[in-house]
Copies of this chain bind each other. A is one copy, B any other.
Amino acid sequence: MYEPKLEHPLRCGVDVTMKILGGKWKVCLIHSIRNGLRRPSELHRTNAYATPRVLNQQLKELEDHGIVRKVIYPVLPPKAEYFLTPEGESMLPIVDAMKAWGDTHGEEFQARLDVLAPLEAGA
């Protein structure tokens, strides 16, 4: 049995938020849902770089964490939709701030990465 020396309780508020948003696609998913993309196929189309399985996984976690609500319609062909819960909507300021920052600083950051990458490769 593995017993970590360093437990990591959710003490600082930051940890709580990161625990929820930490997945690779979670902020993207919240952002997509907020923009009216509710069905799994739509979410997959806008996040085409992730496999359906992974998106489904992360949506499940968001659901478990109370951030999104899933509605399954018992029809054929199957249909499902995701909605933000009030909790989820209360996270939108964070998501918006993250998107705004990235949109503003993205190119500059990319340039910095381009400088860094060769250094690692050449080392």
Distance to closest chain B CB from A92 (angstroms): 10
| Interface residues on chain A, size class | 35 or more
Q: Of B64, B97, B106, which is within 8 A of A16 by CB?
A: B106
Q: Of B13, B28, B31, B95, which is within 8 A of A102 by CB?
A: B13
Number of copies of chain A assembled together: 2
Contacts of A19 in B (CB 8 A): 109
Asked whether B102 lies within 8 Å of A87 as measured between CB atoms, the reply is no
Contacts of A100 in B (CB 8 A): 13
Contacts of A103 in B (CB 8 A): 13
Asked whether B102 lies within 8 Å of A17 as measured between CB atoms, the reply is yes
Residue of B nearest to A5 (CB): B51
